Amino acid sequence: MFSKLLVANRGEIACRVIRTARALGIRTVAVYSAADAGALHVAMADEAYPIGPAPARESYLNIGRLIEAAERSGAEAMHPGYGFLSENGDFAEACAKAGIVFVGPPPAAIRAMGSKAAAKALMERAGVPLVPGYHGAAQDETSLAAAALRVGYPVLIKASAGGGGKGMRVVEAPWTFAAALASAKREAASAFGDDRVLIEKYLTRPRHIEMQVFADRHGNTLHLFERDCSIQRRHQKVVEEAPAPGLDAERRRAMGEAAVAAARAVGYVGAGTVEFIAEGGAFYFMEMNTRLQVEHPVTEAITGLDLVEWQLRIAAGEALPLRQEEVAARGHAVEARLYAEDPARDFLPVTGGLRRLRAPAPAPDLRIDTGVREGDAVSVHYDPMIAKVIAWGEDRNAALRRLAAGLARYRIAGLTTNRDFLLRLLRHPAFAACAYDTGFIEHYRAELLPPPSPAPPHALAAASLALLLDESAAGSGSGDPHSPWHRRDFWRLNGDTYRDLRWAEGETQRLVRAYYRGERYRLEIDGAASDGGAMRLPDGDLAVDLDGVRVALAVSRLGDEVTVVGDDASWRLLYIDPLAHRTEEEAAGGRLSAPMPGKVAQVLVTSGARVKRGQALMVLEAMKMEHTIAAPADGTVERVDYAPGDLVEEGAELIAFSTPD
């Protein structure tokens, strides 16, 4: 076994690999970009080396700097994690040339599977069933459009070199093909440095099922059962579970045999995942990921195995520790990916600081994989994942209950997350009944993404009482303890002692009138009176008592913005300070602003252009995804403020736009 391992990645997967290496007695080496100098994975490792500026292309994707860090540290092996260079044959080859063991498959296997087109041709020869489509060498628009017509619409354009939903577009009709192709190629080039694509028939109600495979250098190959990854948004996985609900023993056997055949066809070594798409009674090969998957913890949960340990042992030359007939599964496991993103804005990634981050305590049946801590920032440069939350249960219902309970205990403030969305999804009757496919989120969008509900009385009380408690703890500006201006009980001359606290919630104003009553308050919330009180809990939450009903809520304040987080929902309120000077808000009309920090990928209009409602005006790239800025109405482009390649902050005015009077 190795004595020192370099982890060529960041975030939660780097932390995950470091934990197993430490358990095996292996010293670990982290690498970090300028943006990650204070990151958790750097703190966890025994050593850490800087590898360049924040942009991934100049740091985590720089093969030369990674090899140099390994040589400087004396690391004998390199674990690539997932993403970045984990499926890069050149990186694996560079490690071999430097005498460093690459914890993964041989370069030839990576290259064979790295091109989706080449992989499909290889699988076809191996007898693995394929989705109807085109994976040829011709990449011009005319050839690809003709292939799409032959396959039959709707079709799916997919980046040949990548995954994770990047460079992927669903095309419903021929007249939208050209624009979708151009967008997919730009995104693929940005994410993978390769703009080649393939065309597949788009199945309308499929499930996404993948098989975990392992192979050693002694000729042994096996699978560790399947995972269902059908719950997706923007072609990226959100919830994964193992085993796949409703998959009978015969289908499991057939998919397992196909996955093992696929691995053997490329002379595979190490951990890999063969992904299938299934509809009706049929299943088809999609791709093979030549790395560990984000969702590997659910396989670990049902098998009791450590897949990273298996990777390291195989890379060190050991044989697989089990035979196929010795692999057993027990119970059910479900994983949810907790992201910094805004589900109400089509799941746009969100950046910002984690002012508050309190996670549930890990337990035997609840696992948290994360790479961030309270106070860290989610950067525009990398994936916006906050954590993976994994629950195990004796059966699926038990696992779902434990996962929902774990997510409910999260307290996050400082940026928007998908926590509340995940809770609605996990508790949805159709999901509980296993009635889902890859279009589940779109099918139930209205129920999963309802309009924001008004903050309930407990949330308004929490925001108001937290503010009053903070003011009381801060003391008064008066130096005279006998002065009435020193008191914090809302004392008034010849009047009742109360304080009005006004809150803005979207376009609505809410009023809380607080009457001081010793250690308690009489609260009038939107005119309804309650007896209330609050106290700080050891974990920082606020225990709010209204008429004897007690609820624990997290309250976080930044300036006048207050975030209240409960077990089932979160609310953002703006305190209207009567003493603060306020200016007229700038009219939103006439401005097209950046919905998130990013880089301008393409400008599609010029000043003076007349455009139609919905017409694409500009394309932004953030976190390796493209976002189109469209005209909100028929009108005229007055001014374009940015050019391709420019970096923009969230809220920056991109285009000045006018509509007819």
Exposed, middle or buried, 6 (CB in 10 Å: 0-12/13-18/19+)? buried
CA distance 514 to 85: 57
- Number of other residues whose CB lies within 10 A of the CB of residue 383: 22
* Whether 302 contacts 243, CB under 8 Å: yes
Kindly indicate the confidence band of residue 367, based on its pLDDT and cuts at 50, 70 and 90: very high
CA distance 355 to 469: 19
Domains 203-330 and 337-434 share a fold: yes
CA distance 79 to 81: 6
Kindly indicate the confidence band of residue 5, based on its pLDDT and cuts at 50, 70 and 90: very high
Q: Could you give the angle at the alpha carbon of 642 between the alpha carbons of 165 and 162, nearest 5°?
A: 15
Q: Could you give the angle at the alpha carbon of 133 between the alpha carbons of 130 and 138, nearest 5°?
A: 125
Give CA 61 to chain center in angstroms: 20
Which strand (E) or helix (H) includes residue 286? strand 282-289
Q: Which residue in the block uniquely carries the two structure tokens 């007055």?
A: 638
CA distance 148 to 152: 6
Q: Tell me the per-residue pLDDT of 229-257, one tens digit each, with 9 for 90 and over.
A: 999 998 889 999 999 999 999 999 999 99
Q: How far from 248 is each of 222, 295, 299, 575, 604, CA to CA, in Å?
A: 19, 22, 18, 56, 50
CATH class of 591-658: mainly beta
**Strand 352-353 to strand 366-370: parallel, antiparallel, or no bridges (unpaired)?**
unpaired
CA distance 52 to 220: 40
Predicted local confidence at residue 585, as pLDDT: 36
Q: Which of 182-191, 194-203, 397-406, 582-591 has the lowest mean pLDDT?
A: 582-591
Structure tokens that stand for 639 in this block: 């001014």
Q: Tell me the per-residue pLDDT of 117-156, one tens digit each, with 9 for 90 and over.
A: 778 888 888 888 888 888 888 999 999 999 999 999 999 9
pLDDT at 456 over 50: yes
- The candidate with the shortest Cα–Cα distance to 620, out of 594, 638, 640, is 594
Predicted local confidence at residue 558, as pLDDT: 79
* Of residues 56 and 558, more confidently modeled: 56
pLDDT at 519 over 80: no
Task: Note the CATH architecture for domain 203-330.
Answer: 2-Layer Sandwich (3.30)
pLDDT (mean) for 585-605: 71
Domain boundaries, the chain: 4-103, 132-201, 203-330, 337-434, 457-575, 591-658
Exposed, middle or buried, 325 (CB in 10 Å: 0-12/13-18/19+)? exposed
CA distance 367 to 347: 25
Phi, psi of 635 (to 5 degrees): 180, -160
CA distance 64 to 275: 31
CA distance 362 to 391: 10
Predicted local confidence at residue 484, as pLDDT: 53
Strands annotated E in 559-631: 561-565, 570-575, 591-593, 598-603, 610-611, 616-622, 625-630
Predicted local confidence at residue 517, as pLDDT: 78
The CATH number that domain 4-103 falls under is: 3.40.50.20
Predicted local confidence at residue 614, as pLDDT: 77
* Whether 197 contacts 188, CB under 8 Å: yes
Q: Tell me the per-residue pLDDT of 412-443, one tens digit each, with 9 for 90 and over.
A: 988 899 999 999 999 999 999 999 999 999 99
pLDDT (mean) for 590-602: 79
Phi, psi of 360 (to 5 degrees): -65, 150
Q: Which residue in the block uniquely carries the two structure tokens 């290496």?
A: 21
Kindly indicate the confidence band of residue 507, based on its pLDDT and cuts at 50, 70 and 90: confident
Task: Identify the bridge partners of residue 200 per DSSP, sorted by sequence position.
Answer: 133, 156
Q: Tell me the per-residue pLDDT of 288-313, one tens digit each, with 9 for 90 and over.
A: 999 999 999 999 999 999 999 999 99
Residues, the chain: 661
pLDDT at 587 over 60: no
Structure tokens that stand for 185 in this block: 């190629």
pLDDT at 320 over 60: yes
CA distance 304 to 282: 30
- The candidate with the shortest Cα–Cα distance to 341, out of 613, 606, 596, is 596
Phi, psi of 439 (to 5 degrees): -95, 15
CATH class of 457-575: alpha beta
Q: Tell me the per-residue pLDDT of 18-74, one tens digit each, with 9 for 90 and over.
A: 999 999 999 999 999 999 999 999 999 999 999 999 999 999 999 999 999 999 999
Taking phi over 0 as left and psi of -120 to 50 as alpha, with beta for the rest, 225 belongs to left
Does domain 132-201 match CATH 3.30.1490.20?
yes
pLDDT at 190 over 50: yes
DSSP code for 363:
B
**Secondary structure in 3-state letters for 430-455:** HHHCCCCCCCHHHHCHHHHCCCCCCC
- The candidate with the shortest Cα–Cα distance to 305, out of 335, 329, 277, 332, is 329
Q: What is the DSSP track for 26-49?
A: -EEEEEE-GGGTT-HHHHHSSEEE
DSSP 3-state of 115: coil
Kindly indicate the confidence band of residue 582, based on its pLDDT and cuts at 50, 70 and 90: very low
> What pTM value is reported for the model?
0.80
- The candidate with the shortest Cα–Cα distance to 81, out of 10, 157, 183, is 10
Any idea which residues carry the catalytic annotation? Answer: 291
Does domain 337-434 match CATH 3.30.470.20?
yes
* Whether 293 contacts 236, CB under 8 Å: no
Q: What is the DSSP track for 300-335?
A: HHHH---HHHHHHHHHTTPPPSS-GGG----SEEEE
Q: Tell me the per-residue pLDDT of 78-104, one tens digit each, with 9 for 90 and over.
A: 999 998 999 999 999 999 999 999 999
CA distance 102 to 7: 10
Give CA 261 to chain center in angstroms: 32
